[in-house]
Amino acid sequence: MSEISESLWNDDIGASAYREEAGSYQSAVLEQYKLYVEMADRVSARRNLANTFFLTLNSALVASLGAWLSGAKRPDLPVPALAAGLLVMLAVCTAWWSTVRSYRQLSRGKFAVIEALEERLPARAFVSAEWKVLGEGRNWRVYLPLVHVERWIPLIFAVAYVFGFTALAL
């Protein structure tokens, strides 16, 4: 636990930083910090909502295609029609992958700002200490960052679409 304490407490900020003359400044930093952490949390919520949207859209596309193909007779589709359908589904996967990437970049920037704000606070709990406890995401047994999982899902759908549409074309 001493490693956590070393990461958590900021030796540069002590009780003297909260005396009357510096107290309003520290209060302003703390308020900005709280606001920024809340904004980072909202980005995470929007990211989850975007993932839910794309997962639902892909699931609906697969279910619709499956229902359409489950008719008594296998439809004889021209290759250009299959290619057009595949391109649409791959475009959805590309948009999903790009959205995940964009949110990851945005989160990375927000956490860098939060880390800088924590340098002015007596404790650096959010970025420094917690991230160290989680092994900085290097060991999947300790912590597997969601982005490592979520970035593969659109690619898995895309590969499945290519194989599925190839099978339909044959």
Q: Is 107 in contact with 33 (CB distance < 8 Å)? A: no
Beta bridge partners of 157: none
Question: Which pair of tokens denotes residue 119?
Answer: 């340098």
SS3 125: helix
In percent, the amount of the chain with pLDDT more than 70 equals 95
Residues 148, 150, 155: CA angle, nearest 5 degrees: 100
Question: Which pair of tokens denotes residue 50?
Answer: 């975007």
Where do runs of H (alpha helix) occur along the chain? 2-8, 20-69, 79-118, 130-133, 146-150, 153-169
Question: Which pair of tokens denotes residue 22?
Answer: 């510096």
pLDDT bracket for residue 1 (50, 70, 90): low
- Comparison of pLDDT for 153 and 148, the residue scoring more: 153
Burial class (CB in 10 A: 0-12, 13-18, 19+), 59: exposed
Q: How far apart are CA 8 and CA 10, in angstroms?
A: 7
Q: How far is C-alpha 56 from the geometric centre of its chain's CA atoms?
A: 17
Residue 156: predicted pLDDT? 95
Helix axis angle for 79-118 and 153-169, nearest 10°, is: 180
- Mean pLDDT comparison of 2-11, 32-41, 68-77, 116-125, highest-scoring range: 32-41
pLDDT, tens digit, 9 for 90 and up, residues 66-87? 887 776 565 677 788 888 889 9
- Side chain identity, residue 155: L
In percent, the amount of the chain with pLDDT more than 90 equals 36
* pLDDT of 124 higher than 60: yes
Beta bridge partners of 123: 9
Residue 75: predicted pLDDT? 60
